[in-house]
Amino acid sequence: MKDESILLFAAILGALIIAQGVLGDHTADRLYLMGDDPNEFAVFGMPPYTTVDSAYTPPGGLGDEQSLEDFFGTVLYANVGSTGLARPGAAAGESGLEFNGTNAYLQAHRLGYPHSSAASTISGGPLDYTGIWARGFQLWVYAKSPVGGADQDIVMDTDQHGLRINTSGKWVMTYGNAYQTEADVKPNTWHHVMVVDSNASGQDANAYLYVDGIAVGAAIGSYDASSNLPLIVGANTGDDGSDPNLPDLGTQNFFKGVLDDLELFVMGTSTQTQTDYGIFNAGEDNDYIVTALSGIDGDVNQDGVLNSLDVDDFIAGWMVENRVMGVLAGDLTTIGFGDLNFDGVNDIHDLALIQNALINAGMNTIAAEDLIAGVPEPPTVLLVALMTTTILLEWMIGTCIYERAYRVAAKSTPLLLVTKHFDKWLQNFHARF
């Protein structure tokens, strides 16, 4: 059985490396620049009243429904540029929004379950979100001292998706349930934070909390798609007071600090028109990670050059995993052991990527015997399988099949079925070898 599995590994690789690639590029449902949209006319120290959605405002469409509203004038524009709070990446004169920690919050229609959101054709909107489940958000957070002692809700998109600072001063992710991390919130410091449900199927999805490009929280589960509570920024979500079983919105857990550049996004393929909204990949979808990466394919050590040092680090990291709260998680640290596709493990998918990069750079590829050098008494059939891997990669990349066709091939149903079942089999392969 072991030998048959290894042979299957080699036989199926040809289809895998055509379909495999570092896919990402989520689709923004809305983007709140918090003062930097020209339609806001931001003045430092003044309230916004309306924070417009800069990502999508079709004529006669979703402008009012997706704008964040400040009904009490208690949220104020703040200088986050170089002469102000100096948010990383902010240009001089850029704005953020300051929340006073006592009564300030913003409100908009929820994204929640994208299938039934205001933008979806199901709800009379212009976008085909039918069957879309995966979603997330990212933003910049500057929490002012003190943190801890009281819960602070930063973003609550319904009661199913959210970001909180708890009474212990820890980051907390809401994904159906609340998941406390062991990561401390550093006050008076900018942090880039992302909460994402990465699985388009909606079943047994991996949800992650990233802080400054590092996965600090993770969970496997699902969320209640029926929740219709609004999006609240800076306080708790809830209802308008009509339901005694729910808290009134905007009445507790007020955030004290400054927020900027809040993006809500979706991923997956719609069931009605097969519209592709992307697949989550931390290396392409997390803004902090994207900015930090060198941009050089195969640059494992991120020194800006692809060379033998990257090969050494890749070999040393072969089959190494990173788990956060028991869940495989790729982040800004895992690329350092060869996790080039940011799925939390250095495996055959990453081998395809680095071999591609090495061939394109005119360098020698990684030899099979180098990868299995640390495995005691490797079976001959495994050596043959890994050699087959290298040969197939070189041949397909050399004929431009891998480089030009993987995005097209990934949409092919037969190949998707092959790689779907292969990924399941590969999980068993990791455990056995």
Region 319-333 average pLDDT: 96
Q: How far apart are the first and last CA of the chain?
A: 13
Taking the C-alpha atoms of residue 197 and residue 311, their distance in angstroms, rounded to an integer, is 32
Render the burial of 356-381: b for 16+ CB within 10 Å, e for the rest.
Answer: bbbbeeebebbebeebbeeeeebeeb
The yes-or-no verdict on residue 16 having pLDDT over 80 is no
Quick one: 229 and 276 in the same domain? yes
**Is 287 within a domain?**
no
Selection from 23-32, 56-65, 219-228 with the highest mean pLDDT: 219-228
**Is 288 within a domain?**
no
Q: What is the CA radius of gyration of the chain?
A: 23
Quick one: 18 and 104 in the same domain? no
Give the model's pLDDT for residue 221: 86
- Domain CATH code at residue 51: 2.60.120.200
Quick one: 274 and 307 in the same domain? no
pLDDT band at 341 (very low <50, low <70, confident <90, very high): very high
Give the model's pLDDT for residue 315: 96
Residue that terminates a domain, selected from 280, 315, 346: 280
**Is 408 within a domain?**
yes
The string of pLDDT tens digits covering residues 356-410 is: 999 999 999 998 888 877 555 555 545 555 555 555 544 444 443 333 333 333 3
Would you give the DSSP letter of residue 326?
T
Give the model's pLDDT for residue 413: 37
Number of domains in the chain: 2
Taking the C-alpha atoms of residue 352 and residue 119, their distance in angstroms, rounded to an integer, is 38
CA angle 287, 290, 295 (to 5 degrees): 165
Burial status of residue 240 (CB atoms within 10 A of its CB: 0-12, 13-18, 19 or more): exposed
Which residue has better confidence, 302 or 386? 302
pLDDT band at 431 (very low <50, low <70, confident <90, very high): low
Q: What percent of the chain has pLDDT over 70?
A: 77
Quick one: 232 and 251 in the same domain? yes
Tokens of 52: 């417009």
**Is 124 within a domain?**
yes
Residue that terminates a domain, selected from 255, 280, 305: 280
Quick one: 96 and 14 in the same domain? no
Tokens of 349: 């998918």
**Is 150 within a domain?**
yes
Q: What percent of the chain has pLDDT over 90?
A: 67
Give the model's pLDDT for residue 425: 46
Residue that terminates a domain, selected from 229, 255, 280: 280
**Is 88 within a domain?**
yes
Region 136-159 average pLDDT: 97
**Is 217 within a domain?**
yes
Q: Which helix (H) or strand (E) holds 263?
A: strand 256-266
Of 167-176, 220-229, 392-401, 422-431, the range with the lowest mean pLDDT is 392-401
Query: Measuring CA to CA, how many Å separate 68 from each of 20, 93, 102, 201?
Result: 39, 22, 18, 29
The yes-or-no verdict on residue 33 having pLDDT over 50 is yes
Q: Which of 406, 420, 411 is nearest to 17 (CA)?
A: 406
Taking the C-alpha atoms of residue 406 and residue 52, their distance in angstroms, rounded to an integer, is 37
Give the model's pLDDT for residue 308: 97
Quick one: 215 and 348 in the same domain? no
Region 86-102 average pLDDT: 97
Quick one: 198 and 212 in the same domain? yes
Q: Under DSSP, is residue 160 helix (H, G, I), strand (E, B) or coil?
A: coil
Quick one: 322 and 175 in the same domain? no
Give the model's pLDDT for residue 409: 37
Which residue has better confidence, 134 or 400? 134
The string of pLDDT tens digits covering residues 102-128 is: 999 999 999 999 999 999 999 998 999
**Is 290 within a domain?**
no
The yes-or-no verdict on residue 280 having pLDDT over 50 is yes
Cβ contacts of 270-276, under 8 Å, gap ≥ 24: 270/128, 270/129, 270/130, 270/131, 270/132, 271/130, 271/131, 272/121, 272/128, 272/130, 272/131, 273/128, 273/130, 275/127, 275/128, 276/411
Taking the C-alpha atoms of residue 371 and residue 374, their distance in angstroms, rounded to an integer, is 7
Quick one: 95 and 205 in the same domain? yes
Residue with tokens 């405002």: 57
Average pLDDT, the chain: 83
The yes-or-no verdict on residue 19 having pLDDT over 60 is no
Quick one: 123 and 161 in the same domain? yes
Which residue has better confidence, 39 or 257? 257
Contacts of 363 (CB under 8 A, 6+ apart): 306, 307
Quick one: 98 and 225 in the same domain? yes
Q: Which of 71, 67, 75 is nearest to 255 (CA)?
A: 75
What is the domain range of residue 403?
2-23+296-432
Taking the C-alpha atoms of residue 126 and residue 103, their distance in angstroms, rounded to an integer, is 34
Quick one: 13 and 39 in the same domain? no
The string of pLDDT tens digits covering residues 259-277 is: 999 999 999 999 999 999 9
The yes-or-no verdict on residue 75 having pLDDT over 70 is yes
Burial status of residue 206 (CB atoms within 10 A of its CB: 0-12, 13-18, 19 or more): buried
